[in-house]
Structure formats: C-alpha cells, structure tokens
Amino acid sequence: MARLRVSWFCMMLFLLISSVLAQTQGDDYDYDDAFAPEPSPSDDGSPAPIGDDMEAPAPAPVPEAAPSSGGERRGLVPALFAFGDSLIDSGNNNRLFSFAKANYFPYGIDFGGPTGRFSNGYTILDQIGDLLGLPLLPPYSEIFNVDKMRFGVNYASAAAGILDITGFHFVERIPFSYQIKNFESTLVSLVKNMSAPIVEEAIPKCIFFVGMGSNDYLNNYIMPAYFTQDEYTPQKFAELLVHQYKEQLIKLYDLGARKFIIAGIGQMGCIPFLLAESSNGECSEMVNQMVRPFNAKLKTMIMKLNKSELPGAHFIFLDMENMFKDIFINYKSYGFSVKNRGCCGSGKNKGEVTCLPMQTPCPNRDDYLFWDAYHPTSAVNLLLGDMAFYGGSNFTFPMNIQQLATLSN
C-alpha cells in the first residue's frame, strides 16, 4: 500500500517558532499534570482550569449574522456541551505547556483579539450555539462560576484525539477521554450549586456536540513520528477509532447525555498543509481515502446506537465530508474566490508553515475558504454551522440540529 508521511520538518519548524510567543502566556498554570482534571471543584463551584465525485447539492443559505456573546436569550435547549479539537477549541490550550495554541495575533483578528480559537473569528460551534439561542460557550480552562457554565461548556482541546497518544508531539493536550472527565467535574459543580434533581432533569434536554478524529489521522496516522501505518491498514485503524469512540460516547450517555451531534471528518486531503505536499497542487486523494472508512463506520455506528442500543438517546451525524465537498464545488456561489491556499501562512499554498505570531494575514479574509494551513475561515465556519443546523439528509443524518433540539425527551 502506498504510504503518506507529511513533512515533519515543516511541522516542527512551526512548533518551535510559534512557541516563542505562545508559551509566554498563562505562566500561572500548574503544568505538573495537564491531562488530569481536578478530582473535585473548588469551594465556589468553579472547576479548576486544565489544561468520488458527486452531484453538487444546492448551496445552503449564507449566514447573515455572527454569533452573539451577550444578553439573556431563550434557548431551544438548556445548554450545549462541546468536545473536540482545534476546529472548535476556544482557549482550553492557552494555559497548557503545549505547542498547539492560537492565543496570539493574528488569530482572532476579526473577533476582537486572540482567544485561543484557531480562526480569524468564529468557529462552527459558535454558530451552532447562536442558532440554538445560547451565548458563546466558555472554555473549561477559564475560572468561571456556575452562572456562566449553566448554558454549557466547551471542553475541546487542540491536538486532541480519540486515542490518548494522538498529538503527543505537541506536548500537553486534553484527549477526549479526559474531556469527558472534565465534564464529570462540571456535573459535580452543577449538582452542588443547583441541586441534583434540577441537573438530572436538565442534562437529557441539553445537546452534546462531539467532533473528534481529525487529529488521529493528521497528528497520528500520517505523521512520521508515529508508526501507526505499520500496524494498521486504513480499515483496521478506522475500526480501532470507532470502537474506542463508541465506548467514550456511551460514557457520556451514562452521565446523562441523550442528544448527540457527532461530526465526521471533512476532506482532510484538501487542506493547505496537504496541498503543499502535492506535486500537482491537487487534493490528496490518498488522505481522503484513508479517512473515508472512519466516516462510513462512524455513521453505521450512529445508526445502530439510534435503533436500540442506548434507550432514549438521539444521535445525528454531521457529514462534514459532503459539506466540504459542496463548498469546494460551489465556492463561487457561496461568495468565495480562493480555495487552495491559506489566508495566513507561509510557503507553497500558504500551507507549509501555518500562521505565525504577528504575521500579516490576507486583507480579504471572507474570500478565503482557509484561514491557516489547517482551519477554515470564520466565514466558512458560519456557513458550516448553518448547514448543520438547517441541512437536509445529505449533510445531517437522520435529522438536522434544529430538529434534534425540538425533540421531546
């Protein structure tokens, strides 16, 4: 089987340069055990910080407004709890001893400043939360009170994966299994401050967004520092990931979760970092083919969980591959003009080295599909949020987020 190894030199060059600025922030953090959550919340209830070709479907509507962070709002659900990686991380890595950070300019240039989001502005999670009528979710690493966490919490961590070992070359990160432990700590705080009956009644009505798996490929399976390709075929690796993923999702179910949004992996072979590895400037079909078994098996697993395995649970699958295909095919119809390079980065396709501290990004950011070597622009994230919320069965299965939110328990 042909094998792909992405450029280790380019990755490490970025890590070393970006760490000069990023590691100067959050020096008050205890780095002794960034993986492990605190065993119990603090006295005031605040959790301690831790760290194919296809026929193109009709374009989805372009979002008219960005998410709002203020004011009392009437949500479709009581709260939104999110688990994932850098695609939705909003600052959980800021205080970690980690190379996977975005707490420096020009990240957040269209947000009012860097927050830890790997975007010039908003993430897909921000848009979904806004459409649900909820404020922007605080990252778990913030020191906050129960009043702030009652609308939900974001546990996502850049470089995190389904497998604990994924992303180890970034040093500290919070894998999915530890994100779940942090949610357990949140539950303890909520019960302590709001009473067990109130929390037990509310949690099944909340929505749980989970978007994992990208790093298990990008920062594990196709990385030269790992030898996963020597041990697993793409099919076997997908089976390993989905088996572990299922156990983790069942753990959330056991903690009371009933409404799940599970995001698949997008067209990874088309990100600028991998376009820069291509000799012809085209998407890496090899990478896309590697990822495809995971998406297929994940969707099948979700169908089984919906049928009978977990009574009362409702899972929806976000087909990120189809969403990205639609955007790539119809990018001009959506108002974009640049799809093959990052807005902020260096080298071929602006993807060989991703966005560095104080680097000047492109001025026309809303014209670009990609913000840096790996992540979409805010404009694309808002669009993806709309697709997930209102989309048909080609994007969300077996229902969309709006329908999930209005389901009675």
Whether residue 243 lies in the annotated active site: no
CA distance linking residue 100 with residue 116, whole number of Å: 10
SS3 94: coil
Cβ distance 87 to 161 under 8 Å? no
DSSP result, 153-180: EE---TT--SSTTTTGGGB----HHHHH
Whether 314 is a known active-site residue: answer: no
Tell me how far apart the alpha carbons of residues 400 and 393 are, in angstroms, rounded to a whole number.
8
- Asked whether the beta carbons of 298 and 316 are under 8 A apart, the reply is no
Active-site residue, selected from the candidate residues 18, 85, 86, 378: 86
Active site residue 375: yes
Catalytic choice (98, 375, 378, 386): 375
d(CA 380, CA 370): 8
**What CA–CA distance (Å, rounded) separates 403 from 358?**
42
Set 89, 130, 319, 372: catalytic member = 372
Nearest to 222 by CA among 5, 2, 1: 5
Peptide bond into 47 cis (omega under 30): no
* 22: nearest Cα among 87, 107, 89: 107
In the chain, what is the straight-line distance between the N-terminal and C-terminal CA atoms, in Å?
47
State how far the Cα of 246 lies from the Cα of 15, in Å rounded to an integer. 32
| Catalytically annotated residues | 86, 372, 375
